[in-house]
């Protein structure tokens, strides 16, 4: 079965527009690549919240009739993959609630590294959770009148949570954007027809003809109300930034601009850098669409080797109710990418992809090229080998399932049955962005996690919950856990 890394989520918000719901719909449509599992919109007319959420794609969940019911000039929206929390409608966002502040809705992009510990504390205080997503922790923290012995407000809440978060929050009077102090996740500000807009990526602004104003800064809270925009720096200035560099490699749309860098241009430069580091004598450069397109073009431009779109992507693939392995070998690969045999027959081929995670999909592609008559197959990857799991919201599997973590380059080459396998160096990847290495989180490559975490703590808490759910008394739970730890 083939594996593609799943993204965290996409968020969108707008304040002061009579067609807030419709523009939010289009904004989510542009951010669909950031989450294809569920989506939701919550609007406010200054008094009442109206929401609609569903499982599936944005275009499947919303129609004209639904959008007509979402009244108000303020809205936030969310499109989601399940990174923390399972795939259920109750986990779809935005999440809403009533508290001392009034009505509140929250849409979250990212993953909290201290979620289990904070949730455990809140449950010990008697708070009940309706979902399994860590975003509900933020909602419950906001609802508390005091926190750590002092009056609670948004600043105190965000200082309590750790990890990756870009938030769009809506109250009855305000639209609020929040970005964590390391800036793991993107969040941008724009304007359209005098209305303020928040979005995970600038491609959402393009679709609704909004003007990009600036990125929300790491650690910044922007508050938008009828008086305009004001900001609060919730954290002391960090020397270290930790923007997820995989946004540039794979996740962000190529027509988005992040950190004043166009994603398309960065990916082309990654391909050029790949050609400089790993020159190969070949007849053809072909991408794995769509994520390998830009890097393959860059490799072709730098090397002078012709570029061809030999793999044709089927954009209308849904889930199959059949067990395809019973009928067609490599069905999962072939149904999404079909190969034009005439282009590769008898040729020495360089195939460029953005990453190799488990390796099974790449192996099938090499096999397809061989069967089509390719004389040689050289696999080029426009980022370094993935060696570590992500704890900040990307669905990379644990280290044991990451091919590069347990296999040498030669073993990977043999497994794929390719003439060569080459990865872009970490220095080359950073160089292609034009930004300093200190700007990025690259923990999935080098194991340097900017926000430290202890996976044993989460495991301990989850094990205690499991035993309590089985009806064991607190004393027995403690004894069993101590025995396991010893």
Query: What is the set of active-site residues?
Result: 9
Distances (CA, A) of 246 to 24, 183, 392: 26, 13, 12
CA distance 392 to 244: 9
Which runs of consecutive H residues, i.e. helices, occur in 201-330? Answer: 203-207, 246, 263-277, 293-303
Rounded to whole angstroms, the Cα distance separating 96 from 139 reads 8
Q: What is the DSSP string of 235-254?
A: SPPPS---EETHIIIIIS-T
Q: What angle do CA 356, 82, 78 make, to 5 degrees?
A: 115
Q: How many CA atoms lie within 13 A of 169 on its CB side?
A: 24
DSSP 3-state of 216 = coil
Q: What is the largest CA-CA distance in the chain?
A: 73
3-state secondary structure of 424: coil
Dist. CA 10–CA 110, nearest whole Å: 9
d(CA 235, CA 312): 47
Distances (CA, A) of 422 to 249, 340, 486: 16, 24, 44
Beta-carbon neighbour count of residue 427 at 10 Å?
Answer: 12
Distance of alpha carbon 42 from alpha carbon 44, whole angstroms: 7
CB atoms within 10 A of CB 206: 16
Q: How far apart are CA 455 and CA 131, in angstroms?
A: 21
């Amino acid at each position: 079965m083939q594996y593609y890394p799943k993204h965290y989520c996409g968020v969108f918000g707008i304040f002061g527009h009579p067609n807030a719901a419709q523009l939010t719909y289009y904004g989510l449509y542009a951010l669909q690549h950031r989450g294809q599992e569920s989506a939701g919109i919550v609007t406010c007319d200054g008094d009442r919240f109206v929401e609609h959420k569903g499982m599936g794609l944005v275009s499947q969940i919303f129609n004209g009739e639904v959008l007509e019911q979402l009244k108000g000039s303020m809205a936030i929206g969310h499109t989601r993959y399940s990174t923390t929390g399972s795939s259920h409608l109750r986990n779809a966002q935005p999440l809403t609630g009533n508290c001392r502040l009034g009505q509140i809705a929250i849409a979250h992009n990212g993953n909290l590294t201290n979620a289990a510990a904070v949730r455990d504390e809140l449950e010990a205080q008697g708070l009940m959770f309706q979902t399994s997503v860590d975003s509900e922790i933020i909602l419950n923290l906001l609802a508390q009148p005091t926190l750590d012995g002092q009056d609670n407000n948004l600043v105190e809440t965000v200082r309590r949570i750790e990890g990756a978060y870009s938030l769009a929050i809506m109250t009855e009077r305000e639209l609020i954007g929040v970005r964590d102090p390391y800036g793991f996740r993107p969040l941008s500000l724009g304007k359209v027809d005098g209305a303020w807009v928040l979005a995970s990526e600038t491609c959402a602004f393009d679709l609704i003809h909004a003007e990009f104003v600036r990125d929300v800064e790491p650690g910044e809270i922007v508050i938008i109300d009828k008086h305009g925009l004001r900001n609060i720096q919730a954290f002391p200035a960090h020397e270290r930034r930790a923007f997820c560099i995989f946004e540039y490699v794979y996740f962000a749309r190529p027509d988005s601009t992040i950190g004043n860098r166009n994603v398309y241009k960065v990916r082309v430069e990654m391909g050029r850098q790949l050609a400089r580091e790993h020159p190969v004598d070949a007849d053809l450069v072909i991408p794995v669409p769509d994520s390998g397109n830009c890097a393959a073009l860059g490799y072709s431009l730098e090397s002078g080797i012709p570029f061809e779109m030999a793999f044709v992507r089927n954009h209308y693939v849904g889930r199959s109710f059949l067990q395809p392995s019973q009928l067609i070998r490599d069905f999962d690969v072939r149904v999404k990418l079909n190969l034009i045999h005439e282009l590769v027959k008898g040729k020495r081929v360089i195939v460029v992809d953005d990453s190799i995670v488990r390796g099974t999909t790449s192996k099938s592609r090499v096999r397809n090229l061989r069967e089509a008559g390719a004389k040689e197959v050289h696999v080029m990857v426009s980022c370094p080998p993935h060696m570590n799991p992500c704890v900040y919201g990307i669905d990379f599997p644990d280290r044991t399932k990451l091919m590069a973590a347990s296999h040498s380059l030669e073993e990977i080459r043999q497994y794929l049955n390719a003439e060569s396998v080459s990865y872009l160096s970490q220095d080359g990847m950073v160089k292609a962005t034009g930004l300093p290495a200190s700007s990025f989180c690259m923990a999935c490559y080098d194991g340097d996690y900017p926000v430290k975490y202890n996976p044993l703590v989460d495991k301990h808490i989850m094990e205690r919950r499991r035993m309590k759910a089985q009806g064991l008394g607190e004393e027995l739970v403690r004894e069993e856990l101590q025995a396991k730890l010893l």
